[in-house]
Amino acid sequence: MSKLDNIFHPKSIAIIGVSRKLGSVGYSLLANIIDSRFQGIVYPVNPKAKGILGIKCYPSVMDIPDEVDLAVVIVPAHLVPGVLEECGKKEIRGAITISAGFKEIGGKGIELEQKVKDIIQKYDISLVGPNCLGVINASPDVSMNATFGTQMPKEGNIAFMSQSGALCVAVLDYAKESNIGFSKFISMGNKAGLTENELLLYLKDDPKTDVILMYLEDLVNGREFMSIARKITSHPTNPKPILALKAGRTMIGAKAASSHTGSLAGSDRVYDAIFEQCGVLRGETLEEISDYVKAFSSQPFPKGKNVVIITNSGGPGILATDSCIRHGINIAPLSQVTKNALREVLPPTVSLS
């Protein structure tokens, strides 16, 4: 059992900061967990409410009589350290902090985030966030939408982790239109606790995940990332493709990333080198990375760089050949035996080369 099972496979969830106000984050998150038909028990925490959406509320997490696996924290930023301290005393080992107002705003926000780090280290809490959209597990045995987004994706074999909550929403909307399913959906936020590296390690052994998609603004530990990613993409029996959309290619873009989640983006050429060395496929746009996702999630992982092009017209075949050569993919020559076998079943006008 992994420590992260408290986040991805909880049997009970406390939502701390749940609200009665329709349309608020606290209300939407509780409604989403209910609507997703979460298979466990939900404990709303609000000291000013007796019940919300037909579920009994508790004044604090300490008043919940039963064990809790996961805490979802939606209180104002300055209250988060105190809430996480209570979670630690309650022996809750998984937490998702939705609240914003930490290192991404600088100054006191940086100090506040350090307090969060100290508390989760003290109590050994696995934390997603802060400043995030939340987490989704679309597997029917969990069926958890612990986000304030509007979509619950269908089950699939793609895991998505992102430093942008808004991009999560955009991907969810696109996935619904394109009939794409997900195994896990993780909005990492500021990565004060869990980083892409811990999440990759978890997804490496996740039987429900075949493809890993990432939106990144920085890497917390590049060397560790390379080591983990290489193990995933070059696994001898169960390799999984890792697809990355890395923001901050330009100096201005990198500065924007820093103001978004407090990221230190670093040189873009360094990221290109990192991805190439550990087998991560980088996309330039959301549209391009979506094409990669569709291909890898529906086809076996390629064993090499040799391909055969099948086309009903010469022009597209030539364009495809040029593209393959430009990207280091080999056009495999057909043996005479193969050509003879194909001519037996194809029209006499077929061209084979």
Position 58 in a domain: yes
Residues 323 and 292 both lie in one domain: no
Pair 261, 190: CB distance under 8 Å:
yes
Q: Quick check: is 214 in a domain?
A: yes
- Our count of domains for the chain comes to 2
Q: Are residues 251 and 322 in the same domain?
A: no
Structure confidence by residue, pLDDT tens digits, 193-236: 999 999 999 999 999 999 999 999 999 999 999 999 999 999 99
Domain housing 140: 5-298
Judge whether 230 lies within some domain.
Answer: yes
In a shared domain, residues 237 and 323: no
Tell me the per-residue pLDDT of 232-262, one tens digit each, with 9 for 90 and over. 999 999 999 999 999 866 555 555 555 545 5
- Claim to verify: residue 337 and residue 292 sit in the same structural domain: no
259 touches 104 (CB < 8 A): yes
- Is 67 exposed, middle or buried, given 0-12, 13-18 or 19+ CB atoms closer than 10 A? exposed
User: Is residue 348, in this structure, part of any structural domain at all?
Assistant: no
Residue 314: pLDDT band (50, 70, 90) is confident
CA-CA distances (angstroms) from residue 162 to 88, 168, 191, 215? 26, 7, 10, 5
Strand, coil or helix: what is 161?
strand
pLDDT band, very low/low/confident/very high, at 313 (cuts 50, 70, 90):
confident
Residues 81 and 158 reside in one and the same domain: yes
**Considering the entire predicted model, what is its pTM?**
0.89
Sign of CA dihedral 101, 253, 133, 158: negative
CB atoms within 10 A of CB 81: 18
Give me the percent of the chain exceeding a pLDDT of 70.
95
Q: Does 310 map to a domain?
A: yes
353 in a structural domain: no
Residue 147 scores a pLDDT above 80: yes
Distance between CA atoms of residues 59 and 62, nearest Å: 8
Question: Residue range 281-306: average pLDDT?
Answer: 90
Locus of tokens 């057909």: 334
62 lies in the same domain as 156: yes
Q: 319 and 240 in one domain? A: no
Q: Clarify whether residues 252 and 324 are in a common domain.
A: no
Is position 331 within any domain?
yes
Same-domain status, 64 and 190 = yes
Contacts 24+ apart (CB under 8 A), 21-27: 25/74, 25/98, 25/148, 26/74, 27/52
Q: Are strands 242-246 and 51-52 parallel, antiparallel or unpaired?
A: unpaired
Residue 262: per-residue pLDDT? 53
The phi and psi torsions of 331 (rounded to 5 degrees) equal -90, 110
